[in-house]
Structure 1
């Protein structure tokens, strides 16, 4: 194995363990759901998945750092700057309502740069993964993966536009810009969370945007989109995840040819 192959193989092992935990709790009658300080929901599946991943990384990558949505950063990044970033269940609101569109997101960063990522959506029976310079793939598991590629659409009037929700864009003062994109696009849908980005990487849609994210929401998605041939920046045009240290993370992901137009429309909009 060369490059990040060992890391991707480990990411699949982590995903196998995560899937076993999350699928056992999906639609469970005794699922426990609490509210975090920011009032977003967290289920016992979220915390159990992250604990399982943390235990495996402590065994197989004890020198690497780790950041998880539910338990924070511990320990600090290792001397070479490597750290894993984990969202145990992306799409918790879907999960707790029995909607099968949710996934475990696993990323490896070197410094601030995501170099490998895996998204596992067991209720959909599908995974997506990529590593820097090694292409992007999708399938049920590592052995069955096939290469994926973004679309070749060049104009917004032919493009399928995806977004997370409109309320976040309203809060940034960019709602009218998003609505105009929706009017000009061939089609618009709000698939939300990880799924829009994965459909983009597969060429099933052409643009995915979100105004406000955390590092664990985005880190695993970046290598998959970019290795599939797409472009991924923040609203300021910086390569994703942008200025993660500031905590202000946003996303514009496109197939490439559409990026300048979308970035111009959203980046020039005046925030409140």
Structure 2
């Protein structure tokens, strides 16, 4: 069996959107809890997270019962598929901005085959946008129609836009983020998964994250790669396992960026 049709990713996103959108900026009790996370005093999980993941898991188990499933909120379901497919789900990536009413969160739907990210989608239902790959090309779909995504490649480092989500993570990391900050045009914070989508769209040039889980990045790797970018760990390896992750829109600059971060 080959890769699932991209329409199934949209079906999963539809199911998640029903659980997240009505609760975003809503009056419903979100049943907010905090999970332990090193270096953070508050790492929230809400009813929207739990219900959205539950809805997506149910659809996967119905359509692809032999596929493994890994998600943020529930235990990993082992698979029995000879093609070694594993879905990797983050129902609300960016729960902090979700709680703050800021529309930079999204639902991440990724698919691994033999531990390599091959398909992915980020759904942002409040803005009505989806960023996804069909395994050959990355696309954005929204009020502007459906358009191909292309990273910005003809750029020098001193004109590049740098992004990271949390200043807290910068303080805890051994990577030389301050040197990269000084070498680039400007640095922005707080964009969560939406910033990665904007890298694929050619609006941001570098995203540096310091402590990701697989469900934070698997969906975004093929989205960026199929748009012309590159995603690696600080040593240049594959990033599916998470940890510190660097995404660049311009592959020509990537090694230079890694050298600065590791300096």
The two structures share one fold, judged by TM-score above 0.5: yes
Aligned-pair CA distance for 1:170: 2.3
RMSD: 1.9
Going from structure 1 to structure 2, the CA distance change for 1:120 and 1:196 (only over 3 Å counts) comes to same
Partner SS, residue 22 of structure 2: helix
Matches within 5 A, 1:48-67: 48-67=51-70
* Pairing of 1:218-233 with structure 2 (within 5 A): 218-233=217-232
The answer as to whether partners of 1:131 and 1:223 remain within 8 angstroms in 2 is no
Cα shift at 1:85: 0.4
Match for residue 80 of structure 1? 83
Checking the alignment, whether the CA contact within 8 Å between 2:92 and 2:107 is kept in structure 1 is yes
Please state how far the C-alpha of 1:200 moved relative to its aligned partner.
0.6
1:212 equivalenced with 2:211 (yes/no): yes
1:13 aligns with 2:11: yes
Q: Could you list the per-position Cα deviations for residues 145-195 of structure 1 after superposition, in whole angstroms to 9, with x for gaps in the alignment? A: 211100023311111111122322322222xx2112212211211143211
After TM superposition, give the deviation of residue 11 of structure 1 in Å.
0.7
Q: Quick check: 1:152 aligned with 2:158?
A: no
Q: Which moved more, 1:196-205 or 1:145-154?
A: 145-154
Q: Partner residue of 2:248? A: 254
Give 1:28's aligned residue.
26
TM-score, with structure 2 as normaliser: 0.92
Q: How many residues align?
A: 257
Task: Give the conservation status (yes or no) of the 8 Å contact 2:79–2:85.
Answer: no
How many angstroms apart in 2 are the aligned matches of 1:159 and 1:101? 21
Structure 2 CA distance for aligned equivalents of residues 131 and 61 of structure 1? 18
* Structure 2 residue aligned with 1:265: 260
CA deviation profile, 1:206-259 (whole Å, cap 9, x unmatched): 111111100000000000000000011111110222xx2xxx622111011221
CA distance in 2, matches of 1:139, 1:210: 25
Q: Counterparts of 1:168 and 1:197 in 2: how far apart (Å)?
A: 17
Aligned equivalents of 1:223 and 1:260: distance in 2? 19
Which residue does 1:136 correspond to in 2?
138
CA offsets 1:18-37 (integer angstroms, 9 cap, x no match)? 11110011122222211224
Quick one: distance in 1 between partners of 2:109 and 2:154? 29
Partner residue in 2 for 1:203:
202
Distance 2:186 2:2 in 1: 39
CA distance in 2 between counterparts of 1:136 and 1:8 reads 11
Query: What is the rounded CA distance, in whole Å, between the counterparts of 2:237 and 2:134 in structure 1?
Result: 20
Alpha-carbon distance in structure 2 between the residues aligned to 1:218 and 1:227: 15
Q: TM-score, normalised by structure 1?
A: 0.89
Shift of 1:77: 5.6
Q: CA deviation at 1:78?
A: 2.8
